């Protein structure tokens, strides 16, 4: 007994869908290197070198930066920059009194690929600023004002710090920042006295700039996993940062710049009325340490008045579904547990895989064993589907001699052969989709795990066997050159996944009932070979999972076919089914009527032609 044609078609469809999905998810990475040269050439042609005074500014910051700057009545004597620190057990935030804003954020529990600390919001590019009207009818950027830092306060469950700036006219600006113990979210409040004079048209125009540093070892892959995310009127969406572009939005709840496992977010308590964002990636990746730069101008309208309070929040931390969900503002949607045509698998990941994974993780120390146990559970759940697929193949094998006889009888009339074959299958109680549908039903499981193992931050930094980080590819050998479609390294887990896939294909083809079609004969071999290039840059957790899953599938296939399925019992069942009257559904009756009609038309054509 072996795989019938429909079963094979089912698994080939799985392979085709997986390959298509892998292609669309990795095309940003594949186009990334070529894009760098095109960008460089375009810049060289369209933007020749200009004196510093003539250089252009980012589009989304054009309005912000074209305002006049003149000395303001705000600030303290002198121009010395001072720093203050606000920290808890998970994050350390250093503030500068120039503009009273975060100057750097250290995530205490995480390390970069090189062992150094993960630091966000560091560098001159990063800022959260706005402009105010000064006494000379000009505007001044808030980062040009020196605030007075007040002492850090220990609040119930956390800490806070305030910065103050005032002028001789009694106008005052206060920035308050507060964090809770064990939390990455920063509550940020702007208090203003004299708002009707400091801002025009009751609007604050924020400028938010975020530079994404390289944190993971594979720069190009990290870039393909980086997104500009946003919630527009409570509807989540995202854009790939690896494709430089712009985006205009209205009624914005929050904005976020997400890397593979970390993110920075700006959250508005009362919505930004509109935003304009552009993102860019460096042309020369060898000399730049950042992945991308995102610039946003966000317009915030407030109720007219002299004294106003602007509630904001800043998030600097991991892209962790469980952490983000607790804030109740849909930030958890940032974790890409499924998107595009496979967006539905995010529900499998969120409500099944993640809870099960978290439970196993709490009780098992080794992350590799956690993945092993999770795989065993999934294969146990899907084994009935696999059994039905192989059972259908066994029934097809019993009917093969009769199918071959029909094929010989109607070798010149494929339509008549199809009609008679369907009658034969129905009389024996065999479904033509018995092998195809069970295989297709496994696609959601395949795809949910594909997204899950790429997005779960708990895998980051966890080692297993030779893999130093299950969230990155494992490498046992560095190739001194790059092989197209493959890469510049050898991933052993990728090789084991490919080998086990080939073994399944070889075993299945050896038991296939009809291997006369060359396409069907060789197609199952193509998919495992393509995996060699597709999987080589994917997280080793994913390739380790596929290795285990393929091994279990192969063992189940052998056991079910050799020791569980009773061929004599199947023959008796088919014999009994033939004694029963065949019940047709209304749909089947319509299909039969159409087939009979087509058959008569063909017969008439033959007679008229003769």
Q: What is the 3-state secondary structure (H, E, C) of 309-323?
A: EEEEEEEEEECCHHH
Q: What is the pLDDT of residue 520?
A: 60
In the chain, % of residues over pLDDT 90 = 41
Alpha-carbon distance values, 192 to 149, 205, 269, 273, 302 (Å): 16, 15, 16, 20, 11
| Residues linked to residue 280 through DSSP beta bridges, in sequence order | 293
**Distance between CA atoms of residues 504 and 525, nearest Å:** 9
Q: What is the pLDDT of residue 403?
A: 73
Which of 18-32, 145-159, 443-457, 474-488 bottoms out in mean pLDDT, i.e. has the lowest? 18-32
Q: What is the pLDDT of residue 42?
A: 47
pLDDT band at 147 (very low <50, low <70, confident <90, very high): very high
pLDDT band at 6 (very low <50, low <70, confident <90, very high): very low
Q: What is the pLDDT of residue 70?
A: 44
pLDDT tens per residue across span 239-288: 999 888 999 999 999 999 999 999 999 999 889 999 999 999 887 776 67
pLDDT tens per residue across span 340-357: 888 899 999 999 999 999
Cβ-based burial of 328 (10 A; exposed 0-12, middle 13-18, buried ≥19): exposed
Average pLDDT over residues 40-52: 45
Asked if pLDDT for residue 575 goes beyond 50, the answer is yes
* C-alpha radius of gyration, the chain, whole number: 31
The secondary structure element, H or E, covering residue 262 is: strand 262-280
pLDDT tens per residue across span 285-319: 766 788 999 999 999 999 888 899 999 999 999 99
Q: Are 106 and 184 in contact (CB under 8 A)?
A: no
Q: What is the pLDDT of residue 592?
A: 63
**Residue 598 phi, psi (nearest 5):** -65, -35
| Residues linked to residue 464 through DSSP beta bridges, in sequence order | 467
The phi-psi region of residue 10 (left if phi > 0; otherwise alpha if psi is between -120 and 50; otherwise beta) is alpha
Which residues 6+ apart lie within 8 Å of 37 measured at CB?
none
- Tell me if residue 510 falls in helix, strand or coil: helix
Domain boundaries 57-335, CATH class: mainly beta
Average pLDDT over residues 72-77: 60
**Distance between CA atoms of residues 103 and 98, nearest Å:** 9
State the maximum Cα–Cα separation within the chain, in Å, rounded to a whole number.
108
Average pLDDT over residues 30-55: 45
**Distance between CA atoms of residues 332 and 549, nearest Å:** 29
Q: What is the pLDDT of residue 445?
A: 85
The pairing of strands 153-155 and 158-166 is antiparallel
pLDDT band at 555 (very low <50, low <70, confident <90, very high): confident
Which residues in 461-490 are b (16+ Cβ under 10 Å) and which e? bbebeebebbbbbbbeeeeeeeeeebbebb
pLDDT band at 373 (very low <50, low <70, confident <90, very high): very high
Q: What is the pLDDT of residue 131?
A: 92
Which residues 6+ apart lie within 8 Å of 162 measured at CB?
149, 150, 174, 175, 176, 177
pLDDT band at 570 (very low <50, low <70, confident <90, very high): low
Among 374, 345, 552, residue whose Cα is nearest residue 458 = 374
pTM: predicted TM-score of the whole model, two decimal places: 0.78
**Distance between CA atoms of residues 219 and 529, nearest Å:** 25
Q: In what order do the strands lie in the sheet with 91-96?
A: 83-87, 91-96, 101-111, 117-120
Average pLDDT over residues 126-138: 83
Among 476, 488, 473, 486, residue whose Cα is nearest residue 542 = 473
Asked if pLDDT for residue 473 goes beyond 70, the answer is yes
- Extents of the domains making up the chain: 5-22+352-579, 57-335
DSSP H helices, 105-218, are 195-198
**Residue 267 phi, psi (nearest 5):** -120, 130
From the CB of residue 148, how many other CB atoms can be counted at a distance below 10 Å? 15
Looking at per-residue pLDDT, the higher value among 570 and 482 belongs to 482
Looking at per-residue pLDDT, the higher value among 292 and 560 belongs to 292
Looking at per-residue pLDDT, the higher value among 107 and 70 belongs to 107
């Amino acid at each position: 007994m072996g795989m019938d044609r429909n079963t094979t078609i089912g698994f080939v469809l799985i392979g085709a869908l997986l390959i298509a999905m892998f292609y669309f998810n990795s095309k940003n990475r594949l186009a990334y290197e070529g894009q760098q040269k095109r960008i460089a050439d375009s810049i060289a042609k369209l933007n020749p070198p200009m004196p510093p005074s003539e250089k252009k500014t980012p589009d989304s910051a054009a309005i912000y930066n074209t305002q006049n700057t003149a000395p303001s009545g705000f600030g303290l004597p002198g121009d010395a920059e001072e720093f203050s620190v606000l920290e808890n057990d998970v994050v350390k935030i250093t503030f500068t009194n120039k503009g009273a804003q975060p100057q750097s954020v250290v995530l205490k529990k995480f390390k970069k690929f090189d062992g150094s600390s993960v630091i966000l919001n560091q560098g001159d590019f990063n800022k959260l600023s706005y402009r105010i009207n000064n006494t000379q009818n000009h505007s001044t950027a808030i980062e040009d004002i020196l605030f007075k830092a007040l002492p850090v306060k220990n609040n119930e469950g956390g800490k806070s710090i305030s910065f103050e700036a005032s002028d001789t006219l009694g106008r005052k600006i206060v920035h308050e920042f507060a964090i809770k113990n064990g939390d990455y979210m920063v509550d940020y409040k702007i208090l203003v006295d004299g708002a009707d004079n400091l801002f025009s048209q009751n609007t604050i125009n924020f400028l938010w700039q975020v530079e994404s540093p390289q944190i993971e070892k594979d720069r190009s892959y990290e870039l393909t996993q980086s997104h500009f995310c946003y919630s527009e009127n409570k509807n989540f969406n995202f854009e790939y940062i690896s494709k430089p572009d712009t985006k205009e939005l209205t009624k914005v709840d929050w904005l976020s710049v997400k890397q593979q496992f970390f993110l920075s977010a700006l959250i508005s308590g009362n919505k930004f009325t509109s935003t304009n964002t552009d993102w860019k990636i460096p042309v020369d990746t060898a000399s730049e340490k950042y992945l991308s730069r995102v610039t946003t101008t966000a317009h915030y309208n407030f109720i007219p008045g002299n004294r106003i309070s602007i509630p904001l929040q800043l998030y600097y931390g991991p892209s962790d579904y469980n952490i983000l969900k607790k804030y109740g503002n849909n930030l958890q949607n940032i974790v890409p547990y499924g998107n595009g045509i496979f967006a539905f698998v995010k529900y499998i990941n969120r409500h099944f895989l993640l809870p099960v994974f978290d439970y196993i993780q709490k009780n098992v120390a080794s992350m590799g064993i956690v993945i092993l146990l999770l795989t065993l559970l999934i294969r146990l759940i899907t084994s009935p589907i696999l059994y039905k697929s192989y059972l259908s193949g066994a029934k097809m094998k019993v009917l093969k001699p009769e199918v071959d006889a029909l094929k010989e009888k109607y070798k010149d009339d494929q339509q008549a052969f199809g009609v008679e074959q369907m009658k034969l299958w129905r009389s024996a109680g065999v479904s033509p989709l018995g092998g195809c549908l069970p295989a297709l039903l496994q696609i959601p499981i395949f795809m949910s795990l594909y997204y899950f193992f790429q997005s779960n931050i708990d895998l980051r930094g966890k080692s297993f066997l030779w893999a130093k980080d299950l969230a990155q590819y494992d490498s046992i050998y560095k190739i001194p050159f790059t092989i197209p479609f493959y890469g510049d390294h050898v991933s052993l887990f990728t090789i084991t996944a490919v080998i086990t896939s080939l073994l399944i294909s070889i075993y299945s083809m050896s038991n296939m009932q009809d291997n006369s079609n060359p396409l069907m004969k060789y197609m199952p071999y193509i998919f495992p070979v393509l995996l060699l290039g597709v999987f080589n840059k994917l997280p080793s957790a994913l390739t380790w999972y596929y290795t285990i899953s393929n091994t279990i599938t192969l063992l189940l296939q052998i056991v079910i076919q050799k020791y569980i399925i009773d061929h004599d019992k199947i023959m008796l069942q088919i014999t009994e089914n033939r004694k029963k009257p065949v019940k047709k559904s209304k749909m089947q009756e319509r299909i039969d009527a159409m087939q009979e009609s087509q058959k008569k038309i063909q017969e008439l054509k033959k007679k008229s032609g003769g």
